[in-house]
Structure 1
């Protein structure tokens, strides 16, 4: 029997574009350009396009798995691999989502500490933010969708680049196609981290009205993300030399220094504070998905699991002392995410396709 979701809890297919775009964005895009530009220089924009195309293939595979099984990944794991192996695979996603929540929250707090409030304590800001997260996640999936829609407000800041255009050095784009294929592919691999988030489709599938019709909106979300990242990469290449970016931690925030308004002295403060719109949907969806997995696997109330996960996230965030430790978490998360997205999903797609063909023959 296929699991079902109350129709009043479901959302329209077009809202998938907002959810996936919000999941992909996060806070990590602030430093995404450094390593790709170090590998591919002025040709890093090609890596952005290559990575965006590869994610379209992954989305196609995800919908292939979900449409064939007509359920989410939690139940699909149990159907394909059985109770024990399926439960272990579901648990891996819980760890991945919690680790992503820890990274996003700690990175946002560090940005606030560096750019806005240097004296603020990590634990105090983490406590306030996690209380807000609890309120949103406890409100249910539709509340998180609303938060994701509000998060689009941050895109208005991209128009500030218009005021930085007098500082653009278009010679920085030359010579084009000057790097080897290997360098461009390595830069594309470094670009995959900011694209993580499409895996959330596995868990929100059952909360979409006519989910089969939502695939085009998921692809649209990835197109929007690719365009957003392409604008960021190109603007940074035009503003900075590659050796200058090597000294920057968050070059996107540094680019705001080129913007001047007579009534705002430091627009980068606004840029840093606005990142709450970037990280909030990510951490809410991560915790929502984690509690849903626990609810289905162990038949425990989500209201019971959520505070436990929030306490774990809070303790982990407080135990990460500095930027180097945050980068270690990012490296670990990047490795896990890369294998989940580009190795496990294709493997699952092939296994499920063979399984369905065997069932038809039998």
Structure 2
């Protein structure tokens, strides 16, 4: 909490981009194609605009408390006890995201690479890496995000070989799915681009006070373009009948490419993609620990991070690991996410105007 206003515009941009690029990038082309068919790429663009609306609400709320995080200004708006309840709810939501992301990542890793490795070993390794970074302050974490921002560009270059084998006819005619289905696809895409809600906590740490909105706008725009590119390429490589049968079309598409130097480019993609998963886990774990630290009135968040990591590993170990159990977890978190990314920020923004509360 004492490191506010230390993130440069590039560090802020790198953090916001990498927390939005998550686990859903692999299955998103199939999921959105099942709803919007060849117009799935349009759903991605519209989802980017929708997310910018959510971000604007969060930004308007955060600018009224420039030097305070959600955990600090929520009790001022709704009272000490209700504010602590909201802080606890957000902390649990952030930890649930860490839980689900790790569960989904482990499931994919087990099916593609580590067939015989026990689940617990993967859980400990992944959460252990996240804990190692999340226990430090935001300045140290920002340096890691700045260093790994180059891997995001590498993701784009890995997809370049697909440009020689796509068939534009799979997305023609434009608008074939109908506006109703295109709009339905927005919800599917939005769930894959979550991460912007962390602004409720990270906003005061950004140094560029008068450029904060432009930084957020640029980060969301970059992720939207990246996701649109991935969805467009994937649905033009696979026929409409094929893509419905493939669980992770991005990996299957890359697996079909072979080069003299690199035979399994899909494994190279997963290695780079693992960095994006870790960056997402680190920031969610860090922000959740800040909330619990505030509620408990502790000075350091590092011990809380350790307890949160142990809790997540325990829950992962006893959780259902079959496809039906995972789908239930995904559905539950997706349904609750709108409460935390739009409904609660909108209510708090309304209360801040009614009660005329803001930072001095």
Q: Return the TM-score normalized by structure 2.
A: 0.92
Size of the aligned set, in residue pairs, is: 355
> Out of 242, 245, 250, which is 1:244 matched to?
242
Structure 1 Cα separation of the partners of residues 158 and 6 of structure 2: 36
Comparing 69-78 with 339-348, greater Cα deviation is found at 339-348
Alignment partner, residue 146 of structure 1: 143
Work out whether residues 25 and 192 of structure 2, in 8 Å CA contact, stay in contact via their aligned partners in 1: yes
Q: Deviations over 1:69-114 (max 9, x none)?
A: 2221111211110111111111111111111101111222222211
Matched, 1:328 2:324: no
The residue number in structure 1 matching 2:318 is: 319
1:111-134 C-alpha deviation (Å, 9 max, x unpaired): 221111211111112112222222
1:52 to 48, 53, 61: 48
Tell me how far apart the structure 1 counterparts of residues 109 and 158 of structure 2 sit (CA, whole Å). Answer: 20
Query: Is the aligned partner of 1:226 residue 2:186?
Result: no
1:115 aligns with 2:126: no
RMSD, aligned CA: 2.0
Q: Structure 1 residue 167 and structure 2 residue 138: aligned?
A: no
Q: Structure 1 residue 354: deviation in Å? A: 3.0
The 1-side partners of 2:24 and 2:312 are apart by 18
User: Where does structure 2 lack aligned partners over 5 or more consecutive residues?
Assistant: none
**Distance (Å, rounded) in 2 between the aligned partners of 1:236 and 1:115:** 19
Mapped to 1, the partners of 2:136 and 2:351 lie a distance apart of 36
CA deviation map 1:49-87 (0-9, x unaligned): 111011112222212111112221111211110111111
Q: Residues 27, 47 of structure 1: CA spacing in aligned structure 2 closer, same or farther, 3 A cutoff?
A: same
1:28–1:104 CA contact under 8 A, matched in 2? no
Matches of residues 174-193 of structure 1 in structure 2 within 5 Å? 174-193=172-191
In the TM superposition, residue 154 of structure 1 has moved relative to its aligned partner by: 4.2
- Distance in 1 separating the partners of 2:247 and 2:256: 17
Partner of 1:35: 31
Q: Which moved more, 1:24-33 or 1:208-217?
A: 208-217
SS in 2 for 1:106: helix
Match of 1:287 in 2: 285
Is residue 43–residue 183 contact of structure 2 (8 Å, CA) maintained in 1? Answer: yes
| 1:341–1:230 Cα change, 3 Å | same
Give the equivalent residue in structure 2 for 1:19: 15
The answer to whether the 8 Å contact 1:116/1:272 transfers is no
Between the aligned partners of 1:223 and 1:156, the Cα distance in structure 2 is: 18
Question: What are the within-5 Å matches in structure 2 for residues 248-259 of structure 1?
Answer: 248-259=246-257
The whole-number CA distance in structure 2 between the counterparts of 1:102 and 1:41 is 31
Counterparts of residues 33-112 of structure 1 (less than 5 Å): 33-70=29-66, 71-112=68-109
1:188 CA displacement: 0.7
Cα distance between partner residues in 2 of 1:15 and 1:6:
14
Q: What displacement does 1:158 show?
A: 2.2
Runs of 5+ unmatched residues, structure 1: none
Kept in 2, the 8 Å contact 1:173–1:237? The answer is yes
7, 10, 35: which one aligns with 2:6: 10
* CA distance in structure 2 between the partners assigned to 1:163 and 1:14 by the alignment: 29
C-alpha distance in 2 between matches for 1:97 and 1:273: 25
How do 1:117-132 and structure 2 match up within 5 A? 117-132=114-129
